């Protein structure tokens, strides 16, 4: 069917749609919009199941394509999307399901991460930061489950992943092509989104502590608070910079990588709301909710673009290719489409 053909051609970047929708569900839950949150969660779950089926089918019957796609940074969206859903399931009290998703993500993480990092090179698009996002996604889910189940070992493991994620961010930053801020087609926003999920992980680690567990001493707590707040400030700085670049150099056309724009928008909102609670700064909740509705508006716009792209398959060739901006293949296809 046309729908099956269209779906089978989705690049790994399409996993960002699950990440974006899932984090909106988390942020809507944080602000009390439970009905909208559950609708977003249902959409995210349906998309995750479809992508998981495609992932498995390619692994079993199209191994060459699976191996090729596994070497791209976008492959790590599978891990990040899984951890985002697991985090939302934990807030619903579905801890058994959340633990199953954590196990699945933890199983995939080292395999995909090693393959992806080995293929890093200079001047990469924003997807390079997905190594940090996937790692911090594990930290967020681990810390959230640790708080729900009073598990000290899980919290300490999440702390290790938190610091590792920051190291991966710094290394990814040296590979990132800063020209993407002006010319990127959507995934350049992950440069800020990686900091947002890092701030969220820090806030979850702070919240996981209790008098019964006594995870961190005063110095540890102080360091975590300082780093978490600093990460949020840096994320907001990236947010402002990227927003100005979008205004100065508009890119209104649809590209599947635009889902990687929506995810950082939603993650920044979720991180702001979570940090507000973790460090006891109530006034942050208002800007956090404003950022949430900006993310919701962006989600609706990108969804409309995806629907338009599906109904105009000939005109969307460039968006389906999934090549890195500036590559020869991407340039050729875009030129052909424009002609």
Q: Chain-centre distance of CA 86, in angstroms?
A: 13
Give the closest residue to 130 by CA, choosing from 22, 10, 264.
264
Position 82 scores a pLDDT of 95
At 214-228, the pLDDT tens digits run 888 888 888 999 999
Position 317 scores a pLDDT of 40
Q: Which residue has the tokens 């698009």?
A: 125
Contact 14, 52 (CB under 8 A): no
Average pLDDT along the chain, 339 residues, taken 10 residues at a time:
49 78 96 96 92 79 79 89 96 95 95 92 93 97 93 94 97 95 92 96 92 80 93 97 94 88 96 95 95 96 87 53 41 37
> Quick one: angle between helices 152-175 and 130-149, nearest 10?
170
Long-range contacts of 298-301 (CB under 8 A, 24+ apart): 298/261, 298/262, 298/265, 299/20, 299/21, 299/24, 299/262, 299/266
Beta bridge partners of 176: 124
pTM, entire model: 0.88
Is the Cα torsion angle 90, 129, 168, 111 positive or negative in sign?
Answer: positive
Is the Cα torsion angle 192, 198, 204, 210 positive or negative in sign?
Answer: negative
Position 263 scores a pLDDT of 95
DSSP string, 159-210: HHHHHHHHHHHHHHHHHB-TTHHHH--SGGGHHHHHHHHHHHHHHHHHHH--
Q: Report all structural domains of the chain as residue ranges with CATH numbers, in order of start.
A: 2-338 (1.50.10.150)
Q: What is the C-alpha to C-alpha distance for residues 294 and 39, in angstroms, rounded to an integer?
A: 18
């Amino acid at each position: 069917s046309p729908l099956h053909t269209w779906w089978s051609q989705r690049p790994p970047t399409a996993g960002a749609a699950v990440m974006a929708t899932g984090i909106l569900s988390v942020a809507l839950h944080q602000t009390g919009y439970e009905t909208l949150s559950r609708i977003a969660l249902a959409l995210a779950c349906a998309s995750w199941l479809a992508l998981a089926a495609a992932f498995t089918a390619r692994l079993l019957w199209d191994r060459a394509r699976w191996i090729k796609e596994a070497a791209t940074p976008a492959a790590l969206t599978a891990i990040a999307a899984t951890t985002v859903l697991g985090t939302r399931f934990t807030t619903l009290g579905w801890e058994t399901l959340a633990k199953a998703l954590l196990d699945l993500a933890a199983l995939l993480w080292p395999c995909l991460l090693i393959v992806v990092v080995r293929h890093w090179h200079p001047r990469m698009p924003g997807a390079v930061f997905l190594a940090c996002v996937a790692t911090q996604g594990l930290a967020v889910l681990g810390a959230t489950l640790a708080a729900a189940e009073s598990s000290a070992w899980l919290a300490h493991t999440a702390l290790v992943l938190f610091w590792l994620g920051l190291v991966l961010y710094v290394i990814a930053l040296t590979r990132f092509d800063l020209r993407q801020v002006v010319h990127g087609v959507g995934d350049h926003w992950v440069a800020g989104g990686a900091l947002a999920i890092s701030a969220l992980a820090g806030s979850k680690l702070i919240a996981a502590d209790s008098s019964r567990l006594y995870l961190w001493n005063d110095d540890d707590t102080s360091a975590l608070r300082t780093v978490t707040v600093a990460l949020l400030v840096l994320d907001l700085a990236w947010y402002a910079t990227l927003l100005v670049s979008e205004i100065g150099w508009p890119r209104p056309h649809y590209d599947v990588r635009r889902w990687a724009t929506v995810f950082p928008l939603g993650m920044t909102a979720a991180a702001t709301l979570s940090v507000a609670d973790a460090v006891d700064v109530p006034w942050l909740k208002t800007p956090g909710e404003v950022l949430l509705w900006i993310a919701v508006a962006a989600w609706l716009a990108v969804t409309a673009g995806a629907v338009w792209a599906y109904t105009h398959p000939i005109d969307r060739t460039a968006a389906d290719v999934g090549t890195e901006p500036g590559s020869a293949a991407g340039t050729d296809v875009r030129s052909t489409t424009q002609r």
